[in-house]
Chain A
Amino acid sequence: MSKGFWCYSESGAIAAELASAASSLAGAVPGDAVILDLDGSGALGAAKRLVLKASYPAGASPEAVAESIFRAAKQLSPAAILVGATRNGREVAARLAVKMKAGLLAEASALALDGGRLVAERSAYAGKVTARVSSPLPCVCTVKAGSFPKGSARPAETQELDVGDVPSKVKTLSSAKKEVGTVDLKAAKVIVSAGRGVKRKEDLPMLAELAKDMKGALGCSRPLSSDLGWLPEEHHIGLTGVNVKPELYLALGISGQLQHVAGMKDSRVVAAVNTDKDAPIFQAADYGIVGDLYQLVPALRKALAARR
């Protein structure tokens, strides 16, 4: 009989989310939520903590982390391993599933157990569709960040396991923090977002000022960051960028390609300004204005100032 729901993420905050997801599953079958600690950081969130003692001569790359967890899983047979769906986490999960010859579910935003299978809900086709997929246990499942509340349990029980020397072929030479904008988009209550309707880079400060007037942050669609390089990649909202859910999302000159909408569709209220009345962004908006952002932005700033 396989035991326990293991949780791993290199991000402590995501690991705590996984722990609360696992704790809710653990109630359904015998076994416990177990949070994995690979770096001695004292991970929190679940009733049990499993500390994997290893030495990583070439660094704790995702490849090495997957091997460590695999060695532990061979001995302790967890029912499922939940992994935060980060860029490194996906490699850990993919390698683990192949090593364990286990099923693999991805990008779960909700989880349940059904007769010995893990059932995950996920978004697909750029957010157009919600799919429910399942795999027999044991399995590995990547979980989308921000889907579960953070578990706060202090582990009452800690187990240590020595997994030995873990090699890695990829060597990290250096690591540098990314240049981040002045405001954290994930935490922003209001986001003003710029799209291809902005004609010149020099016009962006006007939108940034509006964002400031609204006590919000400035985001953008993919062309402005990836193709034109007008804003750092950290401002990019969309499927391959940041996923946000502010109270208010104001899209200015954004056509509303599905890849963009996938990153902002969970916003509470969406307003959009676009010159094209048929722009798909209006389908994703509560309030729409067919108009030129070069007229609407000054008008909005003026109206806001008049109210103060």
Chain B
Amino acid sequence: MKIAVCVKHAVDESELKIDPSGKPLLEGAASKMGTFDKNAVEEALRVKASAGGEVVAVTVGRADARKSLKEALAMGADRGVHVLAELGALDPPKTAGLLAAALAKTGPYDIVLCSEGSSDTYTGLVPPMVAERLGVPYVGYARKLELAGRALKAERSLEESLESVESPLPAVVSVVSEINEPRYPTLIQIMQASKKPVEELRPEQLAAGDAAPPTAVLSMAAQPQNRKHVMIEGTPDEAASKLLDALVKEGVLQP
């Protein structure tokens, strides 16, 4: 079984600074592996544990995206593929084009695992775009996954229903974070991760297919925080009473 798992070196949204004019400072912002991507890596390792084979972690991004790849390798992926590319913010088609081309070049893979979305932009479009570009089925938002020969069975978590589906392989699967508890790598695994092979690819080496028209980012501005920030003090009884008074005055609680 050849298993790929896609990871994104995502902006650490909790560390993202805003300059005095209200612009987010994305250049040089702290980054980390997308929070939900760890569930995808964990699931890839579980598939390998049950079906055998190899797990390849794939990322698209600048040089520093290597850190997220290393994290996946420390968790247990066997090797990495790094497409070195400058990605504009909020341009899923470009990411998906490069990712699909890298998967085609280094594959074929039986199963490609992704998270439901990146923790920074949470758009959720890259996994199905990759599936469309590779011409394979997509099973989105899986909360249970099981392989049976050349097919997979999954339970998909939709807004209001749970859906059991069956799909032939190869397929792209995205997982929700309830599916598993990601493992923490040990210190030894972290050290060994640097010795695992990583193949570096450049966009010009990849046939990324017909490029979609690029998305233009016109502006980015911090969302206004118009909260009152009133701190209420006193004993629990006093504080509770003062809070209820304030809420009644706001008109959000019936007196």
Contact = CB atoms under 8 A, between A and B. Distances in A.
Given A170-B137, A259-B119, A296-B236, A135 B247 contact: no
Nearest to B90: A133
Nearest to B166: A171
A300 B240 CA distance: 5
Contact of A269 (B116, B127, B210, B250): B250
Interface string B209-242: 0101111111111110101111111001101110
Interface residues of B, number: 90
The 8 nearest A-B residue pairs measured at CB: A94-B128, A299-B240, A248-B252, A169-B137, A295-B236, A299-B236, A98-B132, A286-B228
Interface stretch (B9-17, B41-49, B76-84, B196-204): B9-17
A172 B164 contact: yes
Contacts of A233: 157, 178
Indicate the member of A63, A94, A132, A280 with the most B CB atoms within 10 Å: A94
B243 A239 contact: no
Contact of B13 (A98, A133, A258, A282): A258
B140 A91 contact: yes
Interface stretch (A49-57, A73-81, A104-112): A104-112
B24 A125 contact: yes
B159 A106 contact: no
Given A133-B215, A226-B178, A285-B229, A98 B133 contact: yes
A124 B124 CA distance: 12
Interface of B: 11, 13-14, 16, 18, 24, 35-36, 89-90, 92-93, 96, 116-117, 119-129, 131-133, 136-141, 153, 156-168, 171, 176-178, 181, 210, 212-223, 225, 227-233, 236-237, 239-241, 243-244, 246-247, 250-255
A275 interface: no
Main secondary structure of the interface of A (DSSP, over half): mixed
A63 B237 contact: no
Chain A interface size range: 35 or more
17 contacts: A87-B157, A91-B128, A97-B129, A99-B132, A124-B120, A133-B217, A134-B216, A135-B215, A172-B164, A177-B160, A214-B253, A226-B177, A289-B243, A290-B233, A291-B236, A300-B244, A303-B241
A284 B228 CA distance: 9
Given A125-B11, A172-B164, A104 B93 contact: yes
Contact of B128 (A90, A133, A180): A90
Nearest to A132: B218
A247 B252 contact: yes
A38 to B, nearest CB: 17
